[in-house]
């Protein structure tokens, strides 16, 4: 049976600590812009507002089209009375 190689045994001692220290130094040097949250929040609000306006416009468009199609179909209905079922059919 083959055992997989032990990855911890193959790394030199102290490598993980050195990597953690290097990443901590790198992270300490990064500072966000003072108004980064406000800018990101404003962008998010603009996108949300635009999405809602587009959705409202599509809803109005679909409702208007459905109404116009319904009116056109009703206007093209035949004007005659159609069959009535009050009297028995003629022999």
Q: For 21-58, what is each residue's pLDDT tens digit?
A: 999 999 998 888 889 999 999 999 999 999 999 999 99
Sequence spans of domains, the chain: 42-76
CA distances to 1, 27, 83 from 77, rounded to whole Å, are: 83, 74, 14
The model's pTM is: 0.51
Determine the Cα–Cα distance for residues 58 and 52; give it in Å rounded to an integer. Answer: 10
What pLDDT is recorded for position 30? Answer: 87
Residues written for the chain: 91
For the residues 60-79, what does the mean pLDDT come to?
Answer: 92
For the residues 10-20, what does the mean pLDDT come to?
Answer: 82
CA distances to 49, 50, 51, 57 from 63, rounded to whole Å, are: 21, 20, 18, 10
Task: Give CA angle at 7 (25, 1), nearest 5°.
Answer: 170
């Amino acid at each position: 049976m083959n055992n997989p190689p032990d990855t911890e045994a193959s790394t030199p001692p102290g490598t993980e600590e050195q990597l953690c220290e290097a990443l901590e130094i790198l992270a300490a040097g990064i500072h966000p812009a003072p108004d980064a949250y406000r800018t990101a929040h404003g962008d998010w609000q603009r996108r949300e507002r635009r999405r809602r306006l587009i959705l409202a416009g599509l809803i109005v468009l679909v409702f208007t089209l459905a109404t116009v199609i319904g009116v056109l179909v009703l206007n093209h209905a035949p004007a005659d009375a159609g069959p009535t079922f009050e009297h028995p059919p003629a022999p």
